[in-house]
Structure 1
Amino acid sequence: MLLTVSVTSVLVAGAIGYVSGTNSLRQAEYHRLTQLRESRAREITAYYRSITDGASIVTHGATAVNATRDFSAALATLQTTPLPPNAQAAVGDYYQTVFAPALSQRTGKQVDPTLFEPTSNAAIYLQNAYTVPAQGDFQKSLASNSAGDESAWSAANARYQPFFADITKRFGFEDALILNTTGDVVYTAYKGVDLGTNVLTGPYKTTKLAEGYRQAVQAVSVDETFVTDFERYAPSLGMPTPWVLSPIGSDGVITGVLALQLSLDRINSVMTGNNRWEADGLGATGETYLAGPDKLMRSVSRELLTDPGSFVKDVVANGTPEDIAEREVQLKGSVLLQPVDTVAVNRALTGESGVTADEDYIGPESLVAYTQLNIPGLDWVLVAKIDESEALAPVNNFARNIALSIAAIVLVVCLLALFFSRIFTRPLTRLAAAVRRVSAGERGVAVPVTTKDEIGDLGAAFNEMSNTLAVKQELIDDQRKEIDDLLASLMPEPLARRYRDGEENISGDYRDVSVIYAELVGFDEFARSTSADESVGLLNSVIEGIGEAAERHGIERVRHLHNGFLATCGLVVPRVDHASRTVAFASELTEIIERTNAQHRAELAIRAGIDSGSVSSGLLGQRARVYDLWGEAVDLAHRVHGANNAPGVFVSGRVHDQLDGIYSFAPAGTVTGAAGSEAIWSLELASRRPV
């Protein structure tokens, strides 16, 4: 019991420690993910806030206001300026040989260049002067302050290009555009194919840029800024492009719009921590990423950067089409390509923030923290995740240590229990052996008492009990002997033995038995004429003499009567001469009575009836057991006894026939038996005296 309690206590304590420890570690991991999620959310929100605040500052400045005025006026002048020779052909050739192939390679789709070729005079002029010479080298375009022509636009570009080029490079923008109030792109820092086009009527009228421009030009305040989601912007060769737009103007009058093309690399740098995932506590499998309302990524996948081959296998196994996965590897980017239709993303898109454990877009069960970003104009969510197997590795190590500790403690407890149990049980073993000796019937058994503790008290109590049992056993043996003697006086020994053995129905049938029914005649008259003590003394003397005579002749008493008895011969111990023994016993009875009469001056006599034949005997009654004898011989002996009121020994015809010639008999009348009238005979006793 102590071992069970000890082991159970250890197991319970271990289970509580395991549950508490694992829950604490799991909560700590969730808390760490939540902190990282919030940190990334603050960083990306701060990045956008810095961009929007900077754009608002720039658009309020005189440089932006003057640049918009000068570029807009110059563009209007170029609409009527004659084009240089072969300018349109050169622009068309650029779209056919440089722009369209690069865009096709980037998007993986065949591109029709005529859909993008400029149609306005100013756009053709500017792209011929700046875009075509660069041949797609945007850094070359950014460094060019003038095309060397005499146009007012080139003069304005020479004044403002250093300012806007510095802003673009300093903040890592992909481009900076100025649009007038009619939708014309009057300036771009990189002089791409969108220079001189109109976002309301030109090839880019359905872009996020055009959508953001409409919001900005209709703003109620020049202090407003507008942010767009990613789009695949053709002038950037299909690169995912987000925009920040701010109205340009002063004194509450909007004169244009500044459109800043944000860098995807800057956003990825924020979300990947400059590719220092492990330093940020994300281990080998953790990452943070952005997702949009279309449930596509808005930042790059970590595994795509670190292990492209495994990335394809994992995302395809988790439901991403294989061509999309291969396209991501080709472009080295997952923005607007990789589906992230997960529980975390769906919950975050509904405005929830929290943590959960679920399969991520890569597949393994992950711990995920999710939230919705608070960036005006963007319905983005941020997810921080790490594989559960890695995140909970400390939990598994802790559980293993708990299990090993519990096993070690249980082993030690078991060994100690085995050692102490031998000490504790050694005296009990001796006591158990002594108990077995007592139960086997040995008396006077004692165990040594060497201690004064509870076990010593138990040993002393056992010794006292053993002594008490020995004394009681002696008393029981004496009582049993008395009971056996009493039973022997009440019934034959075989029946008494069967009775002691617990037999319920005890009976027997005997074929050849002699029965004597004897009555002491004259005792009542003697008792009335003398005292009770003298009567009892006489009766005891008679009974003692009868008992001695019965024992000598092998007579078995059945029961005593008021002044007589019923006895048998040959019932308990089969005897051939049962009839002769019975008659001899009856003859001796007369002698006993004669001696008693002489001693007590009484006038007693014996009247006995004897018969031989079949009898039955048994114990009768349930509560009070009585031994009795019945059968034809018993009945006939009783009738023989009562057939003549005179004292004497009377026998039936069967007894007479057996003993005729051995004893002398005289006819004494008849009795009615089972076969009719039967003669009885009187035993002739020389010493008998008449009553």
Structure 2
Amino acid sequence: MSEQGTVGEKTERRLRRLRPGLSIQSKLLIMLLAVSLVSSVIVGAVGFINGRQSLHDAAVDQLITIRSMRAAEVTDAIEAVKKDASLQSRNLSAQTLSTTVNAGYEELEQREVTPDERTQLESYYSDTFIPTLEQRAGEQYGDSAFIPESNAGQFLQTRFTTQNLDFDADYDTLLDDNDADDGSAYSAATERYGDYLSRLVNQADYEDALLLNLDGDIVFSAYKGVELGSNLNTGPYRDTMLAQAYADAIATNSVSTVVLTDFERWIPSLNVPTMWVVSPIGNDSRITGALALQVSMETINDLTTGSGEWKEQGLGDSGEVYLVGLDDLMRSDSRRLIEDPDSYEQLAINGGTPPSVAKRIVEVQGTILLQPINTQAVANAQAGRTGTTTGPGYLGIDSVTAYAPLEVEGLDWVIIARIDSSEAFAPVTDFTRTVLLSLLGILLGVSLLSLLLAQVFTRPIHRLVGAVHRVAEGDLDVQVPQGARDEFGDLGSAFNDMASSLRIKQDLIDEQQAENEKLLLTLMPESVAAKYKQGDEAISEAHENVSVVFAELVGFDDYARGLSAEQEIGHLNTLMRGFDEAAEKAGVEKVRTLRGGYLASSGLIVPRVDNVRRSVEFAKNLLGVIERFNAQNGSSIGLRAGVDTGTVTSGLVARTSLAYDLWGDAVNLAYRVRSVTGEPGVYVSQTVYDRTREIFSFTEAGTVEARGTTETVWKVA
């Protein structure tokens, strides 16, 4: 080794020993302070997971509590109705009413209904009740389908029921009218004891109260509706739940029996959903009939909706409690329908409800016996299970749901409490936000400390990384400072030398590539050039629906005889530039130029549905270029252009000579039609004429033999 080399190595080692500041190893040790960040994240994560789960469980527990409370309220209310029915049916007033009215009813059975009374009754059904029922129920009924069979029933309906002409106003009048004014024993009994049922309806808020004899006749009704006088065994309501409940109650022969029905659509109430509580009337010795109390859907709705005070009772802005029967239909009304009926129909359809059902729900403003509920929560509750789920509800909205069977004898109902997941877990979201913000604050403080300590170490690295990125992006003029007297300073110096060397080489490469690219794009389209650069040997492309324009200068050779070679090339370049500008303006692609001709296409490189129109406009614009040239130079050059459309093929004819060309029937015909008359102008084929005759004016110019037929050539006017 030479003496000079030995001295240089010693000098470099000495300089390294004299470098001030921390070494790279010392700087790396400082960065270990980042361990504090890991501990902060761990502590925050543990607190977040535990707190989030607690809030989640609290939201679910609240919903379970509400469901349990409402279930108890509904159960207690129904049991109270059943108990009330049992007590009322054993009441002495009820027994007296039943005995006396039954006797009066039997007496009325012997009375013949006059033709006028029969006509009055039939007119009432055909003109008043049936039209109103069909309008509200959306179904068709016979005019006499609900007329009682018995004389007593028909007589009572002519005296009472037919007075109900306004179903929204006359019921209350009939409630207090218990005298038929016929002097019969029936009228005497109902006038004296009938207010018992009236008071029962008013005080207990029943929809109606019916009195039945042992033969199934509805001998008295508080509201005297169309069910009055009908027979539940043989009449029009024999297939109803009320008829079955009556039969079950009478069969026990016990005044302690109470039979509760599910909701059913009750025709006398204009098809409104109704529940019934039936209990035999009498004492321990015998029974004389049955008392049927009509429980309205408002009674159930008031319990499930909390009288409309959802928010005050812990259900927020979206929560609700509803009931579902064994048929998967709701037994209470939806909160969303009550609060926002305008959007309910679309929400129900989104949740899977048939559009016709959703529309009917909005029309009647009720979901009882209409809204289907096919959720997992309902299925679980119907299977006897109690629990909670999270998932799409009956309106397609993601919900938290608490479900359970409703423990009411005689009813296969389940109770569901739900609330939108977004609202139920809003406290969880808020807690998450608070934890994340707190954790971010801690991380920010720790990070600032670490950044201050690591700044000395990271600054040179950042400079070098940034410089490397800029070089990777093509910026070879980048240089990094070399102020540090450590390994980074040496690395920066080496980087600067490398960047300078790359810059010189890249400049040479760029210059050569630019020249090559420029030359290649003057010979062929960009897509063909890309294939050529990839090394394809046979480059050709077939194109459908392409319009071709072949333009030929007329008289340019005569004009050029008096020009020098430079002037001739200059004028020709002027014309070709004008042609190129016209092509760009019309959206037409230039294929190639010759000394006296110009070949262009539309729809070749860029598919265009209006390529035929563009080609004809381009050919007409070429005439304008010629006119301007003649006006500027005092020449009389003309132009013959031919236009056709069809299938063409483009490609490199010879790879070694890089000759790009276009060929096919459309090119041949465009070439031929241009010279059909020998006169300047724009000539088009029959196909082009057919597709543009509504846009341009044409005159017939001649014919050519093409595509195996004689084709007419048209000249653009």
- TM band (smaller chain): 0.5 to 0.7
Secondary structure of the equivalent of 1:90? helix
Which of 68, 71, 90 is matched with 1:41 structurally? 71
Alignment partners' CA distance in 1, 2:199 and 2:33: 81
Which of 427, 445, 462 is matched with 1:412 structurally? 445
Alignment partners' CA distance in 2, 1:80 and 1:62: 28
Q: What is residue 312 of structure 1 aligned with on the other side?
A: 345
Which of 376, 380, 383 is matched with 1:343 structurally? 376
Which of 274, 283, 294 is matched with 2:307 structurally? 274
Q: What is residue 324 of structure 1 aligned with on the other side?
A: 357
Which of 140, 145, 153 is matched with 1:115 structurally? 145
Say if 2:264 and 2:274, in contact at 8 Å, map to a contact too: yes
Say if 1:68 and 1:178, in contact at 8 Å, map to a contact too: yes
Q: What is residue 80 of structure 1 aligned with on the other side?
A: 110
Length-normalised TM-score, structure 1: 0.60
Alignment partners' CA distance in 2, 1:2 and 1:212: 82
Secondary structure of the equivalent of 1:242? strand
Q: Is the alpha carbon distance of 1:4 and 1:247 closer, same or farther for their aligned partners in structure 2, counting shifts above 3 Å? A: farther
> What is the deviation of 1:224?
1.9
Alignment partners' CA distance in 1, 2:351 and 2:453: 60
Render the CA deviation track for 1:118-149: whole Å, top value 9, x for unaligned. Answer: 22100011001111123242111102121322
Q: Aligned pairs, how many?
A: 429
Which of 212, 227, 245 is matched with 2:278 structurally? 245
Q: Is the alpha carbon distance of 1:422 and 1:328 closer, same or farther for their aligned partners in structure 2, counting shifts above 3 Å? A: closer
Length-normalised TM-score, structure 2: 0.58
| Matching of residue 143 in structure 1 with residue 176 in structure 2 | yes
Match of 2:116, as an amino acid?
N
Q: What is residue 101 of structure 1 aligned with on the other side?
A: 131
Render the CA deviation track for 1:485-514: whole Å, top value 9, x for unaligned. Answer: xxxxxxxxxxxxxxxxxxxxxxxxxxxxxx
> What is the deviation of 1:416?
2.7
> What is the deviation of 1:245?
0.8
| Matching of residue 232 in structure 1 with residue 265 in structure 2 | yes
> What is the deviation of 1:220?
5.3
Q: What is residue 214 of structure 1 aligned with on the other side?
A: 247
Matches within 5 A, 1:192-207: 192-207=225-240
| Matching of residue 130 in structure 1 with residue 160 in structure 2 | yes
> What is the deviation of 1:99?
1.0
Which of 379, 394, 403 is matched with 1:370 structurally? 403
Q: What is residue 678 of structure 1 aligned with on the other side?
A: none
Q: What is residue 50 of structure 1 aligned with on the other side?
A: 80
Q: What is residue 13 of structure 1 aligned with on the other side?
A: 43
Q: What is residue 431 of structure 2 aligned with on the other side?
A: 398
Alignment partners' CA distance in 1, 2:403 and 2:278: 28
Match of 1:108, as an amino acid?
G
Render the CA deviation track for 1:146-169: whole Å, top value 9, x for unaligned. Answer: 132211111111122222111111
Alignment partners' CA distance in 1, 2:32 and 2:257: 78
> What is the deviation of 1:421?
6.8
Q: What is residue 621 of structure 1 aligned with on the other side?
A: none
Match of 1:194, as an amino acid?
E
Q: What is residue 155 of structure 1 aligned with on the other side?
A: 188
Secondary structure of the equivalent of 1:218? helix
Alignment partners' CA distance in 2, 1:3 and 1:180: 93
Alignment partners' CA distance in 1, 2:387 and 2:217: 45
| Matching of residue 176 in structure 1 with residue 209 in structure 2 | yes
Secondary structure of the equivalent of 1:113? coil
Alignment partners' CA distance in 2, 1:328 and 1:112: 25
Secondary structure of the equivalent of 2:290? strand
Secondary structure of the equivalent of 1:335? coil
Matches within 5 A, 1:428-507: none
Larger radius of gyration: 1
Say if 1:222 and 1:252, in contact at 8 Å, map to a contact too: no
Q: What is residue 66 of structure 1 aligned with on the other side?
A: 96
Match of 1:5, as an amino acid?
V
> What is the deviation of 1:39?
0.8
Render the CA deviation track for 1:570-609: whole Å, top value 9, x for unaligned. Answer: xxxxxxxxxxxxxxxxxxxxxxxxxxxxxxxxxxxxxxxx
Secondary structure of the equivalent of 2:252? coil
Q: What is residue 62 of structure 2 aligned with on the other side?
A: 32
Secondary structure of the equivalent of 1:384? strand
Matches within 5 A, 1:567-578: none
Q: Is the alpha carbon distance of 1:332 and 1:434 closer, same or farther for their aligned partners in structure 2, counting shifts above 3 Å? A: closer
Match of 2:98, as an amino acid?
T
Match of 1:313, as an amino acid?
Q
Say if 1:289 and 1:299, in contact at 8 Å, map to a contact too: yes
Could you list the runs of 5+ residues in structure 1 that have no partner in the other structure? 426-432, 437-691
Q: What is residue 677 of structure 2 aligned with on the other side?
A: none
Q: What is residue 562 of structure 1 aligned with on the other side?
A: none
Secondary structure of the equivalent of 2:388? strand
Secondary structure of the equivalent of 1:243? strand
Q: What is residue 297 of structure 1 aligned with on the other side?
A: 330
> What is the deviation of 1:84?
5.0
Q: What is residue 617 of structure 1 aligned with on the other side?
A: none
Secondary structure of the equivalent of 1:405? helix
Say if 1:177 and 1:260, in contact at 8 Å, map to a contact too: yes
Secondary structure of the equivalent of 1:244? strand
Render the CA deviation track for 1:542-587: whole Å, top value 9, x for unaligned. Answer: xxxxxxxxxxxxxxxxxxxxxxxxxxxxxxxxxxxxxxxxxxxxxx
Secondary structure of the equivalent of 1:375? coil
Secondary structure of the equivalent of 1:288? strand
Q: Is the alpha carbon distance of 1:120 and 1:402 closer, same or farther for their aligned partners in structure 2, counting shifts above 3 Å? A: same
Q: What is residue 668 of structure 1 aligned with on the other side?
A: none
Secondary structure of the equivalent of 1:346? helix
Render the CA deviation track for 1:330-374: whole Å, top value 9, x for unaligned. Answer: 111010000111111111001111111011001111000011111
Matches within 5 A, 1:600-611: none
Alignment partners' CA distance in 1, 2:253 and 2:215: 17
Q: What is residue 190 of structure 1 aligned with on the other side?
A: 223
Alignment partners' CA distance in 2, 1:246 and 1:205: 18
Superposed structure 1 runs of 4+ greater than 6 Å apart: 420-425, 433-436
Alignment partners' CA distance in 2, 1:8 and 1:97: 84
Match of 1:167, as an amino acid?
L
Q: CA RMSD in A?
A: 2.0
> What is the deviation of 1:418?
4.1
Say if 2:208 and 2:221, in contact at 8 Å, map to a contact too: yes
Question: Identity, % of aligned pairs?
Answer: 42
Match of 2:356, as an amino acid?
D
Query: Please, which moves more after superposition, 37-46 or 414-423?
Result: 414-423
Alignment partners' CA distance in 1, 2:153 and 2:266: 18
> What is the deviation of 1:88?
1.0
Say if 1:3 and 1:414, in contact at 8 Å, map to a contact too: no
> What is the deviation of 1:420?
6.2
Q: Is the alpha carbon distance of 1:21 and 1:153 closer, same or farther for their aligned partners in structure 2, counting shifts above 3 Å? A: same
Matches within 5 A, 1:597-636: none
Alignment partners' CA distance in 2, 1:416 and 1:4: 9
Match of 2:360, as an amino acid?
R
Secondary structure of the equivalent of 1:200? coil
> What is the deviation of 1:384?
0.4
Alignment partners' CA distance in 1, 2:53 and 2:38: 22
